Amino acid sequence: MKPRTVLHVDLDAFFCSVEARLNPQLSGIPFVVGGSPRSRGVVASASYEARRYGVRSAMPTAQAIRLCPKLIVVPPRHSTYGEVSDQIVERLRVAAPVVEQLSVDEAFLDASDDPRPGQEIARLLKASIAEEFGLPSSWGVASNKLVAKIATTVGKPDGLVVVPAGQEVEFLRPLPVEMLWGVGPKTQARLAELGVATIGHLAELPEEILKSELGSHGMELAARARGEDNRPVVDAYEPRFLSGETTYPSDVSDPTILQQTLLEISEDLGARLRKVERAASTVRVKIRWPDFSTLTRQKRLSQPTDQDGEIYETAKALFLRLWSRGKAVRLLGVGVSELGPPSRQLQLFDRSWAEDGSLLRAVDAIRAKFGKESIQRASGMASDGKIRREDPSEPSRR
């Protein structure tokens, strides 16, 4: 039987990496994302520069500052981290048929059916995350989840470690036993009493000693020490939020370009909602100005939608509340949330909604086959979320 190809990814110091991307002045200095020491806050994430001083996540912020007096404390923005995480996971799902998201910054991918080597897939995804999101990531590639995750840990930060099938035992042998799943402080202390310091030592421990000292748990640990793990990668994904954004190569104040961006992102979001058979009840707009300050506004719809035009009109209205003519924009984004079944209560003048939805799904199918540009050339589309050249500073004509 062909060995499985399992990839594990961990976004390095994720909260801090996102903050450093949003504020480049944080790059290369010790800082943490966490609560204020005055309110008994704790560290949620520490930059690698801060970790050199012994600062760790879950540490009281006050203690972290004692270890590193010049430490900068950045308040967390969990909605932003969740949004970035969702975007990255969506990229992963394009590359692998099964993705198991473990947390906001960690996931497994099963690429067993991909003819490419796992190392190549991981290398391309790692480069894509760095290029598109400006974030470092560490990767492990192996024949199972256990070894892939440990490989990621060995390669951190910003590494890529591959363990070929059949070499699991050799890879694990010299590693400290506490790197093995299921070895907590108490188990580690008991193993130390038995002279077990590495995973290799644990794998070689006689069965009778394992049973007498650790019971059934000892047998499970010994199997893991041999690199045995038959657990499948399980995809239990249910999207909570979809978004898209554009960072311009240079700041933009042209209303036509800004509207075009809103339009294209809205079209993309509508197609993605229909693909996962979901409708959104909330639309959000995000604007970043040239000084990196960022504003967001959102609106809850009267009824959920999966249609490009409704997303676009709402996003445009939100945008106009924040933007004034001539003001430059660095980044523009649109997001949708509160996702649920694509159903709604039809009103007297709302009969076209189902018909429009059918048309949009047909367009989705054509677009998937022939590409977006060919559809626009063939149809001359200029309505309902298609290319329109009106000035976004003017009221909507629809």
The per-residue b/e assignment along 249-287, b for 16 or more CB within 10 angstroms, e otherwise, is: eeebeebeebbbbbbbbbbbbbbbbbeeebbbbbbbbbb
DSSP 153-182: HHH-SS-EEE--TT-HHHHHTTSBGGGSTT
Query: Given 127, 149, 166, which residue is the final one in a domain?
Result: 166
| DSSP SS3 for 396 | coil
Indicate whether 157 and 193 sit together in one domain: no
Q: Among 145, 100, 138, which Cα is nearest to 3's? A: 145
The answer to whether position 96 is within a domain reads: yes
> How far apart are alpha carbons 182 and 199 in whole angstroms?
12
Indicate whether 46 and 154 sit together in one domain: yes
pLDDT in tens, 70-85: 999 999 998 899 889 9
Burial of 113 (0-12, 13-18, 19+ CB in 10 A): exposed
Backbone angles phi, psi at 93, to 5 degrees: -70, -25
**Catalytic residues, which ones?**
106
Q: What's the pLDDT band for 100 if we cut at 50, 70, 90?
A: very high
Indicate whether 147 and 31 sit together in one domain: yes
Sign of CA dihedral 31, 36, 42, 45: negative
- In this predicted structure, what is the pLDDT of residue 384? 34
> How far apart are alpha carbons 302 and 347 in whole angstroms?
11
How many domains are contained in the chain? 3
- In this predicted structure, what is the pLDDT of residue 121? 96
Q: What's the pLDDT band for 374 if we cut at 50, 70, 90?
A: very low
Q: How many CB atoms lie within 10 A of CB 5?
A: 24
How far is the CA of 35 from the CAs of 17, 48, 49, 104, 294, in angstroms? Answer: 17, 18, 19, 19, 21
Indicate whether 105 and 200 sit together in one domain: no
Indicate whether 117 and 193 sit together in one domain: no
Q: How far is CA 58 from the centre of its chain?
A: 22
- In this predicted structure, what is the pLDDT of residue 165? 95
Q: What is the mean pLDDT of the chain?
A: 86
142: pLDDT strictly greater than 70:
yes
For the chain, report the end-to-end CA distance as a whole number of angstroms.
Answer: 60
Tell me the two tokens of residue 119. Answer: 């190392």
The answer to whether position 273 is within a domain reads: yes
Please compute the mean of the pLDDT values over residues 243-260 and round it to a whole number.
91
Please compute the mean of the pLDDT values over residues 245-271 and round it to a whole number.
92
- In this predicted structure, what is the pLDDT of residue 180? 94
Sign of CA dihedral 309, 315, 320, 325: negative
The answer to whether position 392 is within a domain reads: no
Q: Among 220, 168, 186, which Cα is nearest to 205's? A: 220
CATH at residue 361:
3.30.1490.100
The whole-model pTM stands at: 0.62
Q: Are 19 and 26 in contact (CB under 8 A)?
A: yes
Q: How far is CA 52 from the centre of its chain?
A: 26
- Name the residue range of residue 270's domain: 241-379
Top-confidence residue, 305 or 238: 305
Q: What's the pLDDT band for 369 if we cut at 50, 70, 90?
A: low
Sign of CA dihedral 115, 93, 132, 384: positive
The answer to whether position 187 is within a domain reads: yes
Q: What's the pLDDT band for 235 if we cut at 50, 70, 90?
A: confident
Top-confidence residue, 108 or 341: 108
Please compute the mean of the pLDDT values over residues 129-138 and round it to a whole number.
95
The answer to whether position 391 is within a domain reads: no
Indicate whether 161 and 51 sit together in one domain: yes
**For the chain, percent of residues with pLDDT exceeding 90:** 65
> How far apart are alpha carbons 270 and 341 in whole angstroms?
14
- In this predicted structure, what is the pLDDT of residue 286? 94
387: pLDDT strictly greater than 60:
no
Q: Among 291, 283, 239, 289, which Cα is nearest to 265's? A: 283
Please compute the mean of the pLDDT values over residues 193-222 and round it to a whole number.
90
